Amino acid sequence: MAKNKTAETSVDVYDFINLVDDEQKRKDSYSLIELMQEVSGHEPKMWGPSIIGFGTYHYRYESGHEGDAPILGFSPRKAAISLYIYTGLEEHQYLLEDLGKYKIGKACIYVKKLADINEKSMIAIMKKSIEWVNEKYPA
């Protein structure tokens, strides 16, 4: 079975952020670290070359594919900040109602800058995601 590309690394999170070209994304990254650390209770760690993750859980799919992933995370990408804070489940869509200006993938929320979104809504999404991960993939 193929090895997961997104694994925890020993790269320093702050060294990574300091390499981000966009000043606003750097500032937003520092704010996200503080917020996600507070909500998750976990220190930031680099996952793969560009994801900052908080906490970890082990998943195993019915297909047999398994691995580890961060419970919460984000990546300050060139086009937008990718927020890995959402389950993507239909029953959790109500959490997005007051979030603000964003785009969404299957379970990833894309924002241009943190000022575009409602912090209270983002915190509610993070808490629900943590709760869901802990229920679905107990340690």
Q: Could you tell me how far CA 87 lies from the centroid of its own chain?
A: 10
Q: What's the fold here for domain 13-136?
A: Aspartate Aminotransferase, domain 1 (3.90.1150)
Which secondary structure element, helix H or strand E, spans residue 125, and what is its range?
helix 119-136
Residue 4 has what pLDDT?
67
Residue 3 has what pLDDT?
59
> What averages of pLDDT result for each successive group of 10 residues across the chain (139 residues)?
75 97 97 98 97 94 89 96 94 94 93 97 97 92
Residue 62 has what pLDDT?
86
Q: Are 73 and 126 in contact (CB under 8 A)?
A: no
Residue 2 has what pLDDT?
53
Q: What is the pTM of this model?
A: 0.93
Residue 60 has what pLDDT?
86
- Domain assignments of the chain as residue spans, ordered by start: 13-136
Q: CA-to-CA distance for 31 and 29, rounded, in angstroms?
A: 5
